[in-house]
Structure 1
Amino acid sequence: MATTTDVNASTNATNAAENAPSRIIKIKSNDDQIFEIDQGVVEQSSTIKTLAELVDVGDVPIPLPNVKASILGPIVEYCNHHKNDQTPESAEEEEDDDPNKDIYEPKRSDDISEWDQNFIKQFTVSEGTLFDVIMAANYLGIKTLLAVGCKTIANMVRGKSSTEVRELFHISYDPPGEGINAPEAIEAQAGTVPTTQNSDATGPSPQPDPMNH
Protein backbone atom coordinates (compact mmCIF):
# COMPACT_ATOMS: atom_id res chain seq x y z
CA MET A 1 0.00 0.00 0.00
CA ALA A 2 1.37 3.38 -1.01
CA THR A 3 2.05 5.80 1.77
CA THR A 4 1.28 9.50 1.76
CA THR A 5 4.98 10.16 1.32
CA ASP A 6 5.10 7.95 -1.81
CA VAL A 7 2.05 9.67 -3.31
CA ASN A 8 3.49 13.11 -2.66
CA ALA A 9 6.84 12.12 -4.18
CA SER A 10 5.12 10.77 -7.29
CA THR A 11 3.01 13.92 -7.61
CA ASN A 12 6.05 16.16 -7.22
CA ALA A 13 7.94 14.19 -9.88
CA THR A 14 5.03 14.50 -12.30
CA ASN A 15 4.70 18.22 -11.69
CA ALA A 16 8.44 18.69 -12.14
CA ALA A 17 8.35 16.87 -15.48
CA GLU A 18 5.39 18.95 -16.66
CA ASN A 19 7.02 22.19 -15.57
CA ALA A 20 10.46 21.35 -16.95
CA PRO A 21 11.57 23.65 -19.73
CA SER A 22 11.00 22.16 -23.18
CA ARG A 23 14.09 21.34 -25.22
CA ILE A 24 14.61 23.82 -28.02
CA ILE A 25 16.07 22.65 -31.32
CA LYS A 26 17.07 24.77 -34.29
CA ILE A 27 16.28 23.75 -37.86
CA LYS A 28 17.57 25.43 -41.02
CA SER A 29 15.84 25.69 -44.40
CA ASN A 30 17.68 25.26 -47.69
CA ASP A 31 17.87 29.05 -48.01
CA ASP A 32 19.58 29.34 -44.61
CA GLN A 33 16.67 30.63 -42.53
CA ILE A 34 16.71 29.25 -38.99
CA PHE A 35 13.63 28.28 -36.96
CA GLU A 36 13.51 27.35 -33.27
CA ILE A 37 11.14 24.50 -32.38
CA ASP A 38 10.33 22.77 -29.12
CA GLN A 39 9.95 19.06 -28.38
CA GLY A 40 6.23 19.11 -29.15
CA VAL A 41 7.01 20.08 -32.74
CA VAL A 42 9.95 17.68 -32.99
CA GLU A 43 7.73 14.74 -32.03
CA GLN A 44 5.51 15.33 -35.06
CA SER A 45 8.33 15.03 -37.59
CA SER A 46 9.94 11.59 -37.78
CA THR A 47 12.80 13.06 -39.84
CA ILE A 48 13.69 15.82 -37.38
CA LYS A 49 13.18 13.50 -34.41
CA THR A 50 15.55 10.90 -35.86
CA LEU A 51 18.21 13.48 -36.69
CA ALA A 52 17.95 15.03 -33.22
CA GLU A 53 18.37 11.61 -31.59
CA LEU A 54 21.27 10.52 -33.76
CA VAL A 55 23.27 13.72 -33.48
CA ASP A 56 23.97 15.84 -30.44
CA VAL A 57 23.03 19.01 -32.26
CA GLY A 58 23.42 21.35 -29.31
CA ASP A 59 23.15 24.88 -30.67
CA VAL A 60 23.88 23.82 -34.25
CA PRO A 61 20.80 23.98 -36.53
CA ILE A 62 19.65 20.77 -38.22
CA PRO A 63 19.85 21.37 -41.98
CA LEU A 64 16.75 20.51 -44.02
CA PRO A 65 17.99 20.82 -47.61
CA ASN A 66 14.69 19.82 -49.22
CA VAL A 67 12.53 22.55 -47.68
CA LYS A 68 12.63 26.29 -48.31
CA ALA A 69 11.80 28.85 -45.64
CA SER A 70 8.51 29.97 -47.20
CA ILE A 71 7.22 26.40 -46.74
CA LEU A 72 9.04 25.47 -43.53
CA GLY A 73 7.67 28.49 -41.65
CA PRO A 74 4.00 27.56 -42.13
CA ILE A 75 4.81 23.91 -41.36
CA VAL A 76 6.28 24.95 -38.01
CA GLU A 77 3.09 26.95 -37.39
CA TYR A 78 1.00 23.85 -38.24
CA CYS A 79 2.99 21.66 -35.85
CA ASN A 80 2.79 24.25 -33.06
CA HIS A 81 -0.99 24.25 -33.39
CA HIS A 82 -1.21 20.45 -33.25
CA LYS A 83 1.53 19.62 -30.74
CA ASN A 84 -0.95 18.94 -27.94
CA ASP A 85 -3.24 16.78 -30.06
CA GLN A 86 -3.84 13.18 -29.11
CA THR A 87 -1.86 10.80 -31.32
CA PRO A 88 -4.06 8.76 -33.68
CA GLU A 89 -2.05 5.49 -33.42
CA SER A 90 -4.44 3.83 -30.96
CA ALA A 91 -7.47 4.54 -33.14
CA GLU A 92 -5.69 3.14 -36.18
CA GLU A 93 -4.76 -0.03 -34.29
CA GLU A 94 -8.39 -0.55 -33.29
CA GLU A 95 -9.49 -0.20 -36.92
CA ASP A 96 -6.85 -2.69 -38.06
CA ASP A 97 -8.21 -5.24 -35.59
CA ASP A 98 -11.68 -5.08 -37.14
CA PRO A 99 -12.16 -8.40 -39.05
CA ASN A 100 -14.99 -6.88 -41.12
CA LYS A 101 -12.91 -3.98 -42.36
CA ASP A 102 -12.36 -3.85 -46.11
CA ILE A 103 -8.62 -3.24 -46.51
CA TYR A 104 -9.24 -1.76 -49.95
CA GLU A 105 -11.83 0.73 -48.73
CA PRO A 106 -10.60 4.27 -49.43
CA LYS A 107 -10.02 6.49 -46.43
CA ARG A 108 -12.24 9.51 -45.88
CA SER A 109 -11.28 12.87 -47.27
CA ASP A 110 -14.11 14.93 -45.75
CA ASP A 111 -12.80 14.94 -42.19
CA ILE A 112 -10.37 17.86 -42.43
CA SER A 113 -10.80 20.17 -39.45
CA GLU A 114 -11.79 23.79 -39.98
CA TRP A 115 -8.40 25.04 -38.80
CA ASP A 116 -6.59 22.70 -41.18
CA GLN A 117 -8.85 23.74 -44.07
CA ASN A 118 -8.02 27.39 -43.48
CA PHE A 119 -4.34 26.54 -43.12
CA ILE A 120 -4.08 24.61 -46.38
CA LYS A 121 -5.91 27.35 -48.32
CA GLN A 122 -2.77 29.50 -48.28
CA PHE A 123 -1.14 26.99 -50.65
CA THR A 124 -2.29 26.90 -54.26
CA VAL A 125 -1.96 24.75 -57.36
CA SER A 126 -1.33 27.73 -59.62
CA GLU A 127 1.78 28.75 -57.66
CA GLY A 128 2.82 25.16 -56.99
CA THR A 129 2.94 25.72 -53.23
CA LEU A 130 0.30 23.06 -52.49
CA PHE A 131 2.58 20.40 -53.94
CA ASP A 132 5.56 21.98 -52.17
CA VAL A 133 3.94 21.56 -48.77
CA ILE A 134 2.85 17.99 -49.56
CA MET A 135 6.38 17.01 -50.61
CA ALA A 136 7.85 18.78 -47.57
CA ALA A 137 5.43 16.98 -45.24
CA ASN A 138 6.43 13.67 -46.82
CA TYR A 139 10.15 14.48 -46.51
CA LEU A 140 9.78 15.60 -42.89
CA GLY A 141 7.61 12.62 -41.99
CA ILE A 142 4.66 14.67 -40.73
CA LYS A 143 1.84 12.20 -41.39
CA THR A 144 -1.04 14.43 -40.31
CA LEU A 145 -0.04 17.30 -42.61
CA LEU A 146 0.64 14.89 -45.47
CA ALA A 147 -2.86 13.48 -45.02
CA VAL A 148 -4.41 16.96 -45.06
CA GLY A 149 -2.60 17.81 -48.30
CA CYS A 150 -3.53 14.56 -50.04
CA LYS A 151 -7.16 14.82 -48.91
CA THR A 152 -7.28 18.36 -50.25
CA ILE A 153 -6.08 17.15 -53.66
CA ALA A 154 -8.63 14.32 -53.59
CA ASN A 155 -11.43 16.77 -52.84
CA MET A 156 -10.30 19.06 -55.65
CA VAL A 157 -10.49 16.33 -58.32
CA ARG A 158 -13.62 14.57 -57.09
CA GLY A 159 -16.34 14.61 -59.76
CA LYS A 160 -14.15 16.23 -62.41
CA SER A 161 -13.46 14.82 -65.87
CA SER A 162 -9.93 14.01 -67.03
CA THR A 163 -9.92 17.20 -69.11
CA GLU A 164 -10.95 19.30 -66.12
CA VAL A 165 -8.26 17.68 -63.97
CA ARG A 166 -5.58 18.44 -66.59
CA GLU A 167 -6.74 22.06 -66.74
CA LEU A 168 -6.83 22.32 -62.94
CA PHE A 169 -3.26 21.08 -62.55
CA HIS A 170 -1.98 22.63 -65.80
CA ILE A 171 -1.13 19.25 -67.31
CA SER A 172 -0.52 19.47 -71.06
CA TYR A 173 -1.72 16.56 -73.15
CA ASP A 174 -1.64 15.94 -76.88
CA PRO A 175 -4.12 13.34 -78.19
CA PRO A 176 -2.81 10.54 -80.48
CA GLY A 177 -1.83 11.94 -83.87
CA GLU A 178 -1.69 15.55 -82.68
CA GLY A 179 0.97 17.86 -81.26
CA ILE A 180 4.07 15.97 -80.16
CA ASN A 181 2.31 12.73 -81.07
CA ALA A 182 1.79 13.77 -84.70
CA PRO A 183 3.62 11.55 -87.28
CA GLU A 184 5.82 14.41 -88.51
CA ALA A 185 6.78 15.32 -84.95
CA ILE A 186 7.68 11.73 -84.17
CA GLU A 187 9.76 11.48 -87.36
CA ALA A 188 11.54 14.74 -86.53
CA GLN A 189 12.37 13.50 -83.06
CA ALA A 190 13.65 10.18 -84.45
CA GLY A 191 15.83 12.04 -86.93
CA THR A 192 17.68 13.81 -84.17
CA VAL A 193 18.91 10.56 -82.60
CA PRO A 194 22.61 10.11 -83.45
CA THR A 195 23.80 6.74 -84.79
CA THR A 196 27.22 5.12 -85.21
CA GLN A 197 26.57 4.03 -88.80
CA ASN A 198 29.18 5.10 -91.39
CA SER A 199 27.85 7.77 -93.71
CA ASP A 200 29.02 5.74 -96.73
CA ALA A 201 27.23 2.59 -95.66
CA THR A 202 24.18 1.42 -97.54
CA GLY A 203 20.92 0.17 -96.16
CA PRO A 204 18.51 1.59 -93.61
CA SER A 205 19.78 3.43 -90.58
CA PRO A 206 19.59 1.44 -87.36
CA GLN A 207 16.65 2.36 -85.18
CA PRO A 208 17.36 3.76 -81.72
CA ASP A 209 17.06 1.18 -78.97
CA PRO A 210 14.17 2.30 -76.66
CA MET A 211 15.79 0.45 -73.77
CA ASN A 212 18.64 2.97 -73.81
CA HIS A 213 16.33 5.92 -73.09
Structure 2
Amino acid sequence: MVVVNIIQQRQQPATASSSSNSAAASSSGDTTEGSVGLLTLQSEDGEVFEVKDTVATQSVTIKGMVDDDCATSTIPVCNVNGRTLAMVIEWWNKHDIGAVSDEKELKEWESQFVIINDKSDRDKVYDLLMAANYLNIPTLMDSCTSAVAEAIKGKTTEEIREFFDIKNDFDEKEEDDLRKEKQWALENEI
Protein backbone atom coordinates (compact mmCIF):
# COMPACT_ATOMS: atom_id res chain seq x y z
CA MET A 1 0.00 0.00 0.00
CA VAL A 2 1.15 3.48 -0.74
CA VAL A 3 1.67 5.22 2.57
CA VAL A 4 0.50 8.79 2.88
CA ASN A 5 3.66 10.89 2.87
CA ILE A 6 2.17 13.84 4.66
CA ILE A 7 2.37 13.79 8.45
CA GLN A 8 -1.01 14.86 9.70
CA GLN A 9 -2.30 15.72 13.14
CA ARG A 10 -5.88 14.59 13.84
CA GLN A 11 -9.08 13.77 11.99
CA GLN A 12 -11.57 16.57 11.50
CA PRO A 13 -14.41 15.93 9.07
CA ALA A 14 -14.89 18.33 6.20
CA THR A 15 -18.07 20.34 6.21
CA ALA A 16 -20.01 21.66 3.28
CA SER A 17 -20.91 25.31 3.64
CA SER A 18 -22.74 27.91 1.65
CA SER A 19 -20.09 30.56 2.21
CA SER A 20 -16.39 30.39 1.56
CA ASN A 21 -15.50 33.58 3.45
CA SER A 22 -14.80 31.97 6.82
CA ALA A 23 -12.25 29.50 5.47
CA ALA A 24 -10.61 31.92 3.06
CA ALA A 25 -9.13 33.87 5.94
CA SER A 26 -7.83 30.79 7.71
CA SER A 27 -6.41 29.28 4.51
CA SER A 28 -4.38 32.33 3.66
CA GLY A 29 -1.18 30.67 4.76
CA ASP A 30 -0.93 32.78 7.95
CA THR A 31 -1.06 29.77 10.24
CA THR A 32 1.68 29.33 12.78
CA GLU A 33 3.88 26.28 12.69
CA GLY A 34 2.05 23.31 14.17
CA SER A 35 -1.40 24.83 13.78
CA VAL A 36 -3.95 23.47 11.39
CA GLY A 37 -5.27 25.73 8.66
CA LEU A 38 -8.39 25.26 6.64
CA LEU A 39 -8.70 25.17 2.89
CA THR A 40 -11.89 25.93 1.01
CA LEU A 41 -12.61 23.69 -1.96
CA GLN A 42 -15.40 24.33 -4.45
CA SER A 43 -16.72 21.55 -6.66
CA GLU A 44 -17.65 22.02 -10.31
CA ASP A 45 -21.32 22.29 -9.31
CA GLY A 46 -20.63 25.01 -6.74
CA GLU A 47 -20.66 23.02 -3.50
CA VAL A 48 -18.15 24.44 -1.01
CA PHE A 49 -16.18 22.39 1.54
CA GLU A 50 -13.85 23.44 4.32
CA VAL A 51 -11.06 20.93 4.89
CA LYS A 52 -7.97 20.81 7.09
CA ASP A 53 -4.95 21.66 4.96
CA THR A 54 -3.07 18.67 6.37
CA VAL A 55 -5.85 16.38 5.16
CA ALA A 56 -6.34 17.98 1.72
CA THR A 57 -2.62 17.84 0.98
CA GLN A 58 -2.96 14.09 0.48
CA SER A 59 -3.69 15.40 -3.01
CA VAL A 60 -0.37 16.07 -4.73
CA THR A 61 -2.13 18.76 -6.78
CA ILE A 62 -3.47 20.61 -3.75
CA LYS A 63 -0.20 20.13 -1.86
CA GLY A 64 1.60 21.84 -4.76
CA MET A 65 -0.84 24.74 -4.60
CA VAL A 66 -0.34 25.09 -0.84
CA ASP A 67 3.45 24.84 -1.14
CA ASP A 68 3.44 27.50 -3.89
CA ASP A 69 1.12 29.80 -1.86
CA CYS A 70 -1.61 29.49 -4.49
CA ALA A 71 -4.26 28.35 -2.01
CA THR A 72 -5.09 31.71 -0.48
CA SER A 73 -8.79 31.64 -1.37
CA THR A 74 -11.33 29.12 -2.58
CA ILE A 75 -9.69 26.37 -4.61
CA PRO A 76 -11.85 25.40 -7.59
CA VAL A 77 -12.01 21.67 -8.20
CA CYS A 78 -13.41 22.03 -11.70
CA ASN A 79 -13.56 18.41 -12.80
CA VAL A 80 -15.19 16.99 -9.66
CA ASN A 81 -18.86 17.29 -8.64
CA GLY A 82 -19.92 17.89 -5.04
CA ARG A 83 -21.05 14.31 -4.38
CA THR A 84 -17.70 12.95 -5.52
CA LEU A 85 -15.67 15.64 -3.74
CA ALA A 86 -17.49 14.74 -0.50
CA MET A 87 -16.40 11.11 -0.99
CA VAL A 88 -12.81 12.22 -1.71
CA ILE A 89 -12.84 14.21 1.53
CA GLU A 90 -14.23 11.19 3.38
CA TRP A 91 -11.26 9.21 1.96
CA TRP A 92 -8.81 11.89 3.11
CA ASN A 93 -10.30 11.98 6.61
CA LYS A 94 -10.11 8.19 6.94
CA HIS A 95 -6.45 8.31 5.83
CA ASP A 96 -5.53 11.11 8.22
CA ILE A 97 -2.81 9.98 10.62
CA GLY A 98 -4.46 8.62 13.74
CA ALA A 99 -7.90 8.23 12.16
CA VAL A 100 -7.52 4.44 12.03
CA SER A 101 -4.97 2.69 14.21
CA ASP A 102 -5.28 -0.74 12.61
CA GLU A 103 -3.95 -1.21 9.07
CA LYS A 104 -6.22 -4.24 8.57
CA GLU A 105 -9.26 -2.16 9.56
CA LEU A 106 -8.24 0.54 7.06
CA LYS A 107 -7.82 -2.02 4.25
CA GLU A 108 -11.28 -3.43 5.00
CA TRP A 109 -12.80 0.06 4.97
CA GLU A 110 -11.06 0.84 1.65
CA SER A 111 -12.34 -2.33 0.02
CA GLN A 112 -15.91 -1.53 1.07
CA PHE A 113 -15.60 2.14 0.08
CA VAL A 114 -14.72 1.36 -3.55
CA ILE A 115 -16.51 -1.96 -4.03
CA ILE A 116 -18.29 -2.47 -7.36
CA ASN A 117 -21.43 -4.58 -6.99
CA ASP A 118 -23.59 -2.99 -9.67
CA LYS A 119 -23.64 -0.23 -12.27
CA SER A 120 -24.31 2.55 -9.75
CA ASP A 121 -21.21 1.45 -7.81
CA ARG A 122 -19.35 1.30 -11.11
CA ASP A 123 -20.29 4.91 -11.83
CA LYS A 124 -19.31 6.02 -8.31
CA VAL A 125 -15.90 4.33 -8.56
CA TYR A 126 -15.40 5.79 -12.05
CA ASP A 127 -16.08 9.30 -10.69
CA LEU A 128 -13.72 8.66 -7.77
CA LEU A 129 -11.04 7.37 -10.13
CA MET A 130 -11.33 10.46 -12.32
CA ALA A 131 -11.16 12.70 -9.23
CA ALA A 132 -8.15 10.78 -7.88
CA ASN A 133 -6.42 11.21 -11.22
CA TYR A 134 -7.28 14.93 -11.48
CA LEU A 135 -6.25 15.66 -7.89
CA ASN A 136 -3.35 13.18 -7.97
CA ILE A 137 -4.29 11.06 -4.95
CA PRO A 138 -2.23 7.87 -5.36
CA THR A 139 -3.86 5.86 -2.56
CA LEU A 140 -7.37 6.47 -3.87
CA MET A 141 -6.30 5.81 -7.45
CA ASP A 142 -4.74 2.48 -6.41
CA SER A 143 -7.89 1.39 -4.58
CA CYS A 144 -10.18 2.39 -7.46
CA THR A 145 -8.10 0.59 -10.07
CA SER A 146 -7.97 -2.49 -7.84
CA ALA A 147 -11.77 -2.38 -7.56
CA VAL A 148 -12.11 -2.20 -11.35
CA ALA A 149 -9.69 -5.12 -11.76
CA GLU A 150 -11.66 -7.14 -9.22
CA ALA A 151 -14.94 -6.31 -10.99
CA ILE A 152 -13.74 -7.64 -14.34
CA LYS A 153 -11.84 -10.66 -13.02
CA GLY A 154 -13.20 -13.83 -14.58
CA LYS A 155 -15.49 -12.03 -17.02
CA THR A 156 -15.53 -12.62 -20.75
CA THR A 157 -14.96 -9.79 -23.19
CA GLU A 158 -18.70 -9.58 -23.82
CA GLU A 159 -19.50 -9.48 -20.09
CA ILE A 160 -16.97 -6.68 -19.59
CA ARG A 161 -18.44 -4.73 -22.50
CA GLU A 162 -21.93 -5.14 -21.06
CA PHE A 163 -20.87 -4.17 -17.53
CA PHE A 164 -19.08 -1.01 -18.67
CA ASP A 165 -21.57 -0.17 -21.45
CA ILE A 166 -18.86 -0.45 -24.12
CA LYS A 167 -20.12 -0.70 -27.68
CA ASN A 168 -18.35 -3.30 -29.79
CA ASP A 169 -17.14 -1.30 -32.79
CA PHE A 170 -15.48 -4.27 -34.51
CA ASP A 171 -17.22 -6.15 -37.27
CA GLU A 172 -17.29 -9.93 -36.98
CA LYS A 173 -14.19 -10.46 -39.16
CA GLU A 174 -12.10 -7.85 -37.30
CA GLU A 175 -13.04 -9.35 -33.96
CA ASP A 176 -12.25 -12.87 -35.17
CA ASP A 177 -8.84 -11.70 -36.47
CA LEU A 178 -8.06 -10.03 -33.15
CA ARG A 179 -9.09 -13.12 -31.20
CA LYS A 180 -6.70 -15.23 -33.27
CA GLU A 181 -3.88 -12.69 -32.96
CA LYS A 182 -4.31 -12.22 -29.20
CA GLN A 183 -5.36 -15.77 -28.34
CA TRP A 184 -2.99 -15.89 -25.35
CA ALA A 185 -5.00 -13.12 -23.67
CA LEU A 186 -8.28 -14.95 -24.16
CA GLU A 187 -7.26 -18.44 -23.01
CA ASN A 188 -9.61 -18.39 -20.02
CA GLU A 189 -12.66 -17.22 -21.96
CA ILE A 190 -15.37 -19.69 -22.79
TM range (shorter): 0.5 to 0.7
Q: Determine whether 1:46 maps to 2:46.
A: no
Give the Cα–Cα distance (whole angstroms) in 1 for the partners of residues 64 and 150 of structure 2: 32
SS at match of 2:125: helix
1:22 equivalent among 25, 30, 36: 36
Give the Cα–Cα distance (whole angstroms) in 1 for the partners of residues 63 and 39 of structure 2: 10
Structure 1 unaligned segments of length 5 or more: list them: 1-18, 86-111, 182-213
TM score, norm. by length of structure 1: 0.56
Tell me how many residue pairs correspond in the alignment. 135
SS at match of 1:55: coil
Aligned to 1:114: 108
TM-fit CA distance, 1:171: 1.2
Give the Cα–Cα distance (whole angstroms) in 1 for the partners of residues 42 and 126 of structure 2: 20
Query: Which moved further from structure 2: 123-132 or 25-34?
Result: 123-132
Q: Report if aligned partners of 1:116, 1:148 keep a CA contact under 8 Å in 2.
A: yes
SS at match of 2:50: strand
TM score, norm. by length of structure 2: 0.62
Identity of aligned residues (%): 31
Give the Cα–Cα distance (whole angstroms) in 1 for the partners of residues 91 and 40 of structure 2: 17
Change (3 A) 1:124 1:64: farther
- Of structures 1 and 2, the larger Rg is shown by 1
Change (3 A) 1:122 1:74: farther
Q: Report if aligned partners of 2:116, 2:148 keep a CA contact under 8 Å in 1.
A: no
Give the Cα–Cα distance (whole angstroms) in 2 for the partners of residues 37 and 120 of structure 1: 22
Q: Determine whether 1:140 maps to 2:135.
A: yes
Q: Report if aligned partners of 1:43, 1:49 keep a CA contact under 8 Å in 2.
A: yes
Show the 5 A alignment for 1:28-39: 28-39=42-53
TM-fit CA distance, 1:53: 2.2
Q: Deviations over 1:52-78 (max 9, x none)?
A: 2223533x2111111110100011011
1:84 equivalent among 73, 78, 97: 97
Q: Report if aligned partners of 2:43, 2:85 keep a CA contact under 8 Å in 1.
A: yes
Q: Determine whether 1:173 maps to 2:187.
A: no
1:68 equivalent among 71, 76, 81: 81
Give the Cα–Cα distance (whole angstroms) in 2 for the partners of residues 171 and 161 of structure 1: 13
Give the Cα–Cα distance (whole angstroms) in 2 for the partners of residues 122 and 25 of structure 1: 31
Q: Report if aligned partners of 2:116, 2:151 keep a CA contact under 8 Å in 1.
A: no
Q: Report if aligned partners of 2:42, 2:48 keep a CA contact under 8 Å in 1.
A: yes
2:69 equivalent among 55, 59, 79: 55
Give the Cα–Cα distance (whole angstroms) in 1 for the partners of residues 124 and 158 of structure 2: 22
Give the Cα–Cα distance (whole angstroms) in 2 for the partners of residues 46 and 174 of structure 1: 37
Q: Report if aligned partners of 2:43, 2:82 keep a CA contact under 8 Å in 1.
A: yes
